[in-house]
Structure 1
């Protein structure tokens, strides 16, 4: 097992426990290697797992750069974590017994909870977590160690990562630079930490129907912030805009562990996943609307928009509650006070504009109050833009020919690994369709229609620009006989043939390149495209995967494609969108332009 580690990911996860058993027995037999050792039940189980795992095991020669960046920290009060990739955070408080544990153990627990809360929907990715505790870092990177408690914690998180094909790496960050996670680990909301006397609760159970307590019968708010809303939702507790605001905000359950997890990332489209929108639901129901009607109205926020709004709407709820402000009909002065507070925290124009939109959107829904269009708010945003402008990420774009020439230099599809084939096909889709990574990720097998001359892709799910009467047009990409290696139709046909042998009942077009060959996430597709861009010589530190859309449409414009054709292909309803955000000068030297005419 040890000898196989250079070619097998997660190998230490299997042999570390066996090494511990060996060391324990050697100590018992005073170092005599000629003694027979009987494996424990755990050791036998590991051997069986190893036998099942080994045939599909592999390990990359060069590990890809992390696609998810996390930070975690712990204090004697609790633990905190931050996902800097998507600007989400989580925090929790230790119970009394945990507070007595060594700080090294608490640091490792905080890291585990951060990973499980903020990377819950991640798979097929490299996750990097930064910590200021070198012992906890060592236990993660070495798959365990001598401490029984910390070894078990490290092993648990690695099994969790393995099941999701996540490679985890831990790195050090000085404590003075780990400010956000440290702050979250020390913030304690006393209102959320309470427990009924168990004896009195039993008396209540006997006297009243237990249905009054729909989610818990322990009489305790739980050791988690997530559990604090249970009593606030009981019928005998009055619910108003402000009375139980904190419980509404933190009602989302994200963990069954005994420590809390409050993650902005868990805020999503549905009310169950976005506790911060529960108050909106209650306000709509107070207007006399039925549950079904309210549910339909709440779906008016797209999932991505709800995630963006969730974080800032939660902050607004806390702000308005602490200052006794009417959440859905505040004065302009109070809104500006809140936005200024965000500004003083270092947020830029884009983030504060999102916060303003979250407030305006909900106030407009409940009280027909369009805060975003009030003159004083508009003036504030203009001033903010002057101080902290949100300028375009880049004013020029890379040349698609660099990537296409690199793809053309690659071996034929029949000689590629499944990973290389997946990278090639997703990149061709991005460049030849002008679509977002989200759209490519949503493609299903039933969306593809390949005929003799072309492939037609009709996206059957809603995308960002979908609205009543407008949906992304079918992608029509013709065969390219001039260079078969650049032909998306040929590549698609071969990809379907190869994956048909392993995909089983999976209906999504793009699947993982290792077992169990399930549908990949958008971040996986993004990572595939980014890797091929990097190999092609594109500066991926400067240009992200979304730049493919600008590179593709800009190249089409330079080559004389009509504007309406570009707009149709990319799914834009306004030429202004292309002109402002996507039509960039292609990065070429003077000599390149001269030589291109030869």
Structure 2
């Protein structure tokens, strides 16, 4: 403990160890729970910042030192009373969205909330009611044992636990949706299966959202949604499964390994297991850099060279590689080209295609390993082997055609005039116009901030403080422009944004993110929420959202721009690409048959 107090930086793992020791003393230290929250919150923030790498270092803050000094000075004098006896006074408190009140014997009073307080969650208001009550009757209860009666179980829990580090769990999940767990059989594939076999009598796995026929039982629906992070089936063939958003693998690998085989990934229960696996995986990567002779600081910089999305893609294959090396009893860094080819062969025999195996090759290349004078990913034998993989299992495009932007534009024109729209409709229209007119990813849209916004007579200019997915050395994507469109004010993102800023000014409090929720507490939204909003507009416009995901907006707008003779260089600049290969391979698609191209992207 003294070591943390004196140090400026320590590893997250060491802080977690100290917290574990402190928590173990709670049964003997009555007020211990009041003096560890800052440690716990600092550790949680550090883990998020370092992608769940427990071996990364974190700064020891002043608030952490204050709590640790309390333990260092008082630990030997602490006791825990088995009972405090019967309470001398009983106070009843309650709170609503308008105000608060209390009753203490014959003393009854209360008050209204301030404008800022009224925007807070009801659980917070219940706690504030207790706080103001105690202040109001402090002279009557000083030195006495009191009992407080209230109707909020969450507030009761917070008081009895002497605080908390998270908001009400049920409230969190009522506002945050995990679409990755709501799998659905592709309708066309399901129909073909039924035609070739027979129609099933019952579907025990379905929920009310993905049921395919009337014989479905929903008995497990509540259970499955109540266990959002556990008991989730691993999909054997993702080709026949439809999900509503991009799927990011958080799979871990069974530690039991047989020689020459790689275990099938299996999801662990609980987010902490995922974090632990991420930590072990990335710690091994850091260790390999250290074993190659790089300094601790150099290894840290190497770890920062990967963006979070790349790490999520690589970590599964890095785990499999480490598992393979343990099974073969070989070093992770002293390898031959035969080891690499055999590893990729096992992935191939397990059913992976060219794209996934190429990602695995990239993960191995990220180590910087050299074999026979070549980087492992560019070794001639590996390159030739990958050509064989491509010939046997070529990469297939996700879409053979795209949807017509006119479908969405016609719907957005109906949402006029903007001053008569509800906040929800205004928000949906703004998000979709931003996405279409800039071919923007959901990540880019959700990062927009009014702190870095400049307004002129014909455009809004935003600047980004953080890196975007397309950010790379030598290319500046820090400026994002939303231009006015005078030919049709109904599709003018400039006009919509002006109205949105005016409408949200009084409710956004201190939030600086451009996009906030259209329902209380009007907090900044996540990237997943932006994607869900885009999908909502697509669905309302008549776009088949069973086939096209929110990310397809990017391809649809770029394809239409190309059709209307927008220069390729302008398309590449808007999309953030260095050459046209990415566009031609993954985004340039014909519009679905039967849909015309009379107008431009907004014309």
TM-score with structure 2 setting the length = 0.57
Aligned to 2:143: none
Aligned to 2:503: 498
Counting only pairs closer than 5 Å after superposition, residues 406-417 of structure 1 correspond to structure 2 as 406-417=411-422
User: Are 1:382 and 2:489 matched, yes or no?
Assistant: no
User: Are 1:557 and 2:562 matched, yes or no?
Assistant: yes
User: Are 1:262 and 2:253 matched, yes or no?
Assistant: no
- Report the alpha carbon displacement of residue 428 of structure 1 after superposing the two structures with TM: 0.7
Report Cα offsets for 1:99-137 as digits up to 9, x if no partner.
xxxxxxxxxxxxxxxxxxxxxxxxxxx9999xx998765
Q: Distance in 2 between matches of 1:172 and 1:260?
A: 12
Q: Distance in 2 between matches of 1:388 and 1:589?
A: 32
Report Cα offsets for 1:130-152 as digits up to 9, x if no partner.
xx9987655567xxxxxxxxxxx
- Report the alpha carbon displacement of residue 288 of structure 1 after superposing the two structures with TM: 4.9
Contact 2:318–2:364 (8 Å) recurs in 1: yes
Aligned to 2:283: 278
- Report the alpha carbon displacement of residue 418 of structure 1 after superposing the two structures with TM: 2.7
**CA separation of 1:424 and 1:266: change in aligned 2, threshold 3 A:** farther
**CA separation of 1:414 and 1:482: change in aligned 2, threshold 3 A:** same
- Report the alpha carbon displacement of residue 502 of structure 1 after superposing the two structures with TM: 2.3
- Report the alpha carbon displacement of residue 408 of structure 1 after superposing the two structures with TM: 0.3
Q: Distance in 2 between matches of 1:344 and 1:309?
A: 19
Counting only pairs closer than 5 Å after superposition, residues 127-276 of structure 1 correspond to structure 2 as 137-139=221-223, 261-263=272-274, 274-276=279-281
- Report the alpha carbon displacement of residue 541 of structure 1 after superposing the two structures with TM: 1.7
Aligned to 1:538: 543
User: Are 1:45 and 2:166 matched, yes or no?
Assistant: no
2:477 to 472, 485, 496: 472
Counting only pairs closer than 5 Å after superposition, residues 44-63 of structure 1 correspond to structure 2 as 44-46=151-153
- Report the alpha carbon displacement of residue 292 of structure 1 after superposing the two structures with TM: 2.7
Q: Distance in 1 between matches of 2:598 and 2:563?
A: 15
- Report the alpha carbon displacement of residue 573 of structure 1 after superposing the two structures with TM: 1.5
Give the number of aligned pairs. 399
3-state secondary structure, aligned to 1:456 = strand
- Report the alpha carbon displacement of residue 449 of structure 1 after superposing the two structures with TM: 1.9
Aligned to 1:582: 587
Q: Distance in 1 between matches of 2:440 and 2:235?
A: 42
Q: Distance in 2 between matches of 1:169 and 1:536?
A: 33
- Report the alpha carbon displacement of residue 285 of structure 1 after superposing the two structures with TM: 3.0
1:68 to 169, 180, 184: 180
- Report the alpha carbon displacement of residue 378 of structure 1 after superposing the two structures with TM: 1.6
TM-score with structure 1 setting the length = 0.57
Contact 1:68–1:128 (8 Å) recurs in 2: no
Aligned to 1:333: 338
RMSD of the alignment, in Å? 4.8
- Report the alpha carbon displacement of residue 484 of structure 1 after superposing the two structures with TM: 1.9
Contact 2:448–2:464 (8 Å) recurs in 1: yes
Q: Which runs of no fewer than 5 residues in structure 1 stay unpaired?
A: 1-13, 15-39, 72-125, 142-153, 158-167, 179-183, 192-249, 268-272
Q: Distance in 2 between matches of 1:173 and 1:277?
A: 25
- Report the alpha carbon displacement of residue 460 of structure 1 after superposing the two structures with TM: 2.9
Aligned to 1:29: none
User: Are 1:294 and 2:299 matched, yes or no?
Assistant: yes
- Report the alpha carbon displacement of residue 316 of structure 1 after superposing the two structures with TM: 0.8
Aligned to 2:458: 453
- Report the alpha carbon displacement of residue 454 of structure 1 after superposing the two structures with TM: 1.4
Contact 1:137–1:170 (8 Å) recurs in 2: no
Q: Which runs of no fewer than 5 residues in structure 2 stay unpaired?
A: 1-122, 124-146, 157-166, 184-207, 239-249, 258-265
Aligned to 1:206: none
2:425 to 417, 420, 427: 420
Q: Distance in 2 between matches of 1:580 and 1:504?
A: 44
- Report the alpha carbon displacement of residue 367 of structure 1 after superposing the two structures with TM: 10
**CA separation of 1:365 and 1:547: change in aligned 2, threshold 3 A:** farther
Q: Distance in 2 between matches of 1:319 and 1:507?
A: 47
Report Cα offsets for 1:506-552 as digits up to 9, x if no partner.
22222223333322221111111011011111112222222111111
Q: Distance in 1 between matches of 2:252 and 2:292?
A: 39
3-state secondary structure, aligned to 2:522 = coil
Aligned to 1:311: 316
**CA separation of 1:287 and 1:140: change in aligned 2, threshold 3 A:** closer
3-state secondary structure, aligned to 1:477 = strand
Contact 1:407–1:424 (8 Å) recurs in 2: yes
Aligned to 1:443: 448
Aligned to 1:394: 399
Q: Distance in 1 between matches of 2:542 and 2:418?
A: 21
Q: Distance in 1 between matches of 2:599 and 2:426?
A: 31
